[in-house]
Amino acid sequence: MLLVVASGNGREGVEGAMKVLRENGSAIDAVEAGIRRVESDPDEDSVGLGGIPNILGQVELDASIMEGRTLAAGAVGALTGVENPISVARRVMELCPHVLLVGAGARRFAEETGFVPCNLLTTPSLQKWRSRLPEQISENFRELEDRGELLPLVRAIAEKMRRAGTVNFLARDERGDIACGVSTSGWPWKYPGRLGDSPIIGAGNYADNRYGAAACTGYGELAIRCNTAHSVVLYMKMGQGVAAACREAMGDLAPLLAAHGGGMNIVAMDRQGYPFGITSSATGGSYWVMNEKSIAPEECELERISSAQAG
């Protein structure tokens, strides 16, 4: 069963990812193709080009990719000036003895392996970023970098501003190999150097051919603390179906969601390619599914589970 599953903001990459699979490409090629499309869209302000920047006005990107057959993985965090961090993550996976590179090291690796630097800050994302700064700071925003204290500003702006966004892609190819990828500009107005769950293998992203794959969007600090993506796969290993495994992982998050607010969405598939998605948001949400028989991506509702119900 050929399958592509994507988070709500992944719609425009789904057909391209399925095309890769239909042309006998690998699951990991499909995941990378789908995510690149979303990263390069300047109107998507939570991923890649045009992502809302950190508190200093720098767009810092996180991404990870994992191959379920070998458990090979690559990730980058707080990467600046590269439009397609998912491809850098893949290159880390394929060329580097490490799994995760961050900050200046990730940028250096990207340039060394042929990625062309670019400006990720678009005029609309600069405007959105400035609109939440106190007026006096917004007028002199170029001086922010020399400011001694950033923490009070991060607490005042970012803490209230949990809405972010992330793109997830999962794919299963002709050979039954599965792969999973995640990309984001992370928590807007974040403290420089903050990593969420997206580049942390096990937290925001996990794939294992023997059981399935899962990826998260939402309050990354909580997915890190519960190792959410890996938990879903582990619950499948322990015998649960994909829906039960997602509910169980959401249950693990429930006390943290109740204590800290924010939300979590999980998209997952089992090893046969049965998809499922779940959200802690009371207002729901959707994800995209396309299989070998589909003419177009199908929008599916995330199962709603309030943090009070979960756990």
CA distance 37 to 198: 17
Residue 22, token pair as written in the block: 């239909």
CA distance 310 to 116: 45
Verify binding: residue 115, ligand ASP, rule CB under 6 A. no
Nearest to ligand ASP of 26, 166 (CB atom): 166
Verify binding: residue 166, ligand ASP, rule CB under 6 A. yes
Helix (H, G, I), strand (E, B) or coil at 81: coil
Q: Which position among 68, 188, 196, 273 is part of the footprint of ligand ASP (CB under 6 A)?
A: 196
Nearest to ligand ASP of 2, 31 (CB atom): 31
CA distance 244 to 248: 6
**b (16+ CB within 10 A) / e for 55-78:** bbbbbbbbbbbbbbbeebbbbbbb
**Integer CA distances (angstroms), 186 to 101, 220, 290, in order:** 16, 8, 26
Q: Which residues contact 282 (CB under 8 A, 6 or more apart)?
A: 304, 306
Q: What is the DSSP string of 22-35?
A: HTT--HHHHHHHHH
Verify binding: residue 183, ligand ASP, rule CB under 6 A. no
Nearest to ligand ASP of 173, 197 (CB atom): 197
Q: Which position among 109, 115, 129, 187 is part of the footprint of ligand ASP (CB under 6 A)?
A: 187
Verify binding: residue 186, ligand ASP, rule CB under 6 A. yes
Binding-residue pattern over the window 126 to 165 for ligand ASP, x denoting contact by CB under 6 A: --------------------------------------xx
Q: How far is the CB of 16 from ligand ASP (least distance, A)?
A: 22
Q: Which position among 80, 87, 125, 198 is part of the footprint of ligand ASP (CB under 6 A)?
A: 198
Verify binding: residue 53, ligand ASP, rule CB under 6 A. no
Q: How far is the CB of 195 from ligand ASP (least distance, A)?
A: 8
Q: Judge contact between 43 and 208, C-beta under 8 A.
A: no
Go through the chain and tell me how many residues it has: 311
Q: Which position among 12, 29, 173, 197 is part of the footprint of ligand ASP (CB under 6 A)?
A: 197
Nearest to ligand ASP of 80, 198 (CB atom): 198
Give bridge partners of residue 121 from the DSSP assignment. none
Catalytically annotated residue among 113, 123, 166, 283 = 166
Nearest to ligand ASP of 18, 49 (CB atom): 49
In the residue annotation, 279 being an active-site residue is answered as no
| Interacting residues with ligand ASP between 202 and 241 (CB under 6 A) | 204, 217-218, 220
**Segment lying near ligand ASP (by CB under 6 A), choices 69-77, 190-198, 229-237, 241-249:** 190-198
CA distance 182 to 32: 9
Q: Judge contact between 184 and 227, C-beta under 8 A.
A: no
Residue nearest ligand ASP, CB atom distance: 220
Nearest to ligand ASP of 227, 240 (CB atom): 227
Residue 214, token pair as written in the block: 């899962």
CA distance 247 to 73: 25
CA distance 304 to 72: 32
Contact footprint for ligand ASP (CB under 6 A): 164-166, 184, 186-187, 196-198, 204, 217-218, 220
Catalytically active residues, by annotation: 166
